[in-house]
Structure 1
Amino acid sequence: MKAAGVVLVGVAIVAAVIGGISALSGGDGGNEAGPSGTSTQPGTSGGPSSPPATSSTATPPSTSTPASPTSPPPPTSPPPGQPTSPGPGQPGGDQQASNKWVTVRVYNNSLIEHLAARAADDFRHAGWNVTEVKGYPYGTIPATTAYYRPGTDEEAAAKALAQQFGFKAEPRFDGIKDASAGVIVIVTKDYGTNSPKGS
């Protein structure tokens, strides 16, 4: 029993010594782990000073991000300008091309068979919108003419067509004044004689 008591007392003493050593070494080790190469002095508060430095460095990235939203507005301005000019592509034929959507009806006022059909083919090959081809037996027209209703899109279209194919353009006369909308071209035997594109 005495031997057991001595052993227990010895173990308690050893445990107390080890506890004291670990407490002392733990305090020194905590100081050494804190600086970790920053400084050799254990009492300095180098650890707390480093976090503020990291927070200050984090602020510059946030200031750089607001600059990016300001750049997108400039590129949005060009698109609105483009849709305004979707029509013709070539500057020289802009006006003429913009008139070609107007319907054109071709009437034959000559004794030449299929003259209106031939003229209609010429007009179509040039991009004009020919919708009707037939004869015109109501009187004699002196020369091939494109007729239009003044003040409408027909006027510009008739003048452009007449200029392209070498004949004249005039307002509608009484006999065709009430006809359907569109340019009316009445061809006579002179069709194609003054036009480089007519045959």
Structure 2
Amino acid sequence: MDWVAVALKKDVPPGVVIPSRISDSELAIWCTPSGRYHAWSDRCPHRGMRLSHGFVRGDTLACIYHGWQYNEAGSCDYIPAHPKLTPPVTICVPTYRCVEDGGVIWVSLTETDSPLPMLGGRDPIRSLQISLSAPDLAAHFGAHSFTTIAVVSDHDALLAVQPCTDRTCMVHALAAPDADRKAVSRWLEDLRATLERVPA
């Protein structure tokens, strides 16, 4: 598994952090005020608090528990209780490759030279959770992998699939630029209802 969609750009504006996950890896996805995206392990090295509960301060992400701040490389560079202390370089958060392309935020948990998936000029519409595993979703459409699945429909739809658990996935849906967004959203709701009726 190389690149996986974890969110749409419109759902993670500058200055925001959200929780996400790829299978067993819990992630904090955040964006600096200047628009750079980051994907980190969702645990503060200090006390294990979820960093996705924290807040963006300039180009740092601060833990909500004790306020420890981590720079864009994932290294702790400020501890409020000890403002004059230079934190040891060993205090750092595991980070992953994260880029935004075509309105979709992509993460790779491993080093990869693979290109990002092609979106075919489609525009992001919305994300929704489906109570079906990513492999089962791919199998439903006869797809060989679940990274992106083109779906034959009136909307020229593409589903960027994010595996979450062995029973759920997130689908980040894109459609033709001239598609009616409300119609696509209704179609997605119907698709979800159909998929969740598929026997496991």
Q: Same fold (TM over 0.5)?
A: no
TM-score interval w.r.t. the shorter chain? under 0.3
Higher strand share: 2
Q: TM-score, normalised by structure 2?
A: 0.22
TM-score by length of 1: 0.22
* Bigger Rg, structure 1 or 2: 1
Q: Point out the structure with the larger helix share.
A: 1
